[in-house]
Amino acid sequence: MRVDQLLNKLCLVKTRSIAKKACDKNLVKINDKIAKASANVNDGDIIEYQLYGYFNKLRITTVPQGNVSKNNASEFYEILEREKLELE
């Protein structure tokens, strides 16, 4: 599954277009490599992204098949790190 779709389906970003723009601005990494919006995500991948004033690092435990309800979204990933970014 594409990284922009995954971030949207797991309710980590509000819309897919926000996820795509974050990828275009090099704010998303998969396994320590800058990711394009079309980059594929596999089980066990580590995703890092900077949005909404936070740095987030998470491991994808399972890539979902189809749509995911908001209540079940957290079953597909585990948060490794989350910290507030300092504003300049």
Which helix (H) or strand (E) segment holds residue 83: the answer is strand 77-84
- Domain locations in the chain as residue ranges: 3-84
CB 27 within 8 A of CB 51: yes
Which helix (H) or strand (E) segment holds residue 87: the answer is none
pLDDT of residue 86: 83
pLDDT of residue 66: 87
CB 84 within 8 A of CB 53: yes
Q: What is the pTM of this model?
A: 0.88
- How, if at all, do strands 28-30 and 46-51 pair? antiparallel
CATH of 3-84, one of 3.40.50.150, 3.10.290.10, 3.40.50.80, 3.10.270.10: 3.10.290.10
Written as tens digits, the pLDDT of the chain (88 aa) is 999 999 999 999 999 999 999 999 999 999 999 999 999 999 999 999 999 899 999 999 999 998 899 999 999 999 999 999 886 6
Q: Encoding tokens for residue 56?
A: 């987030």
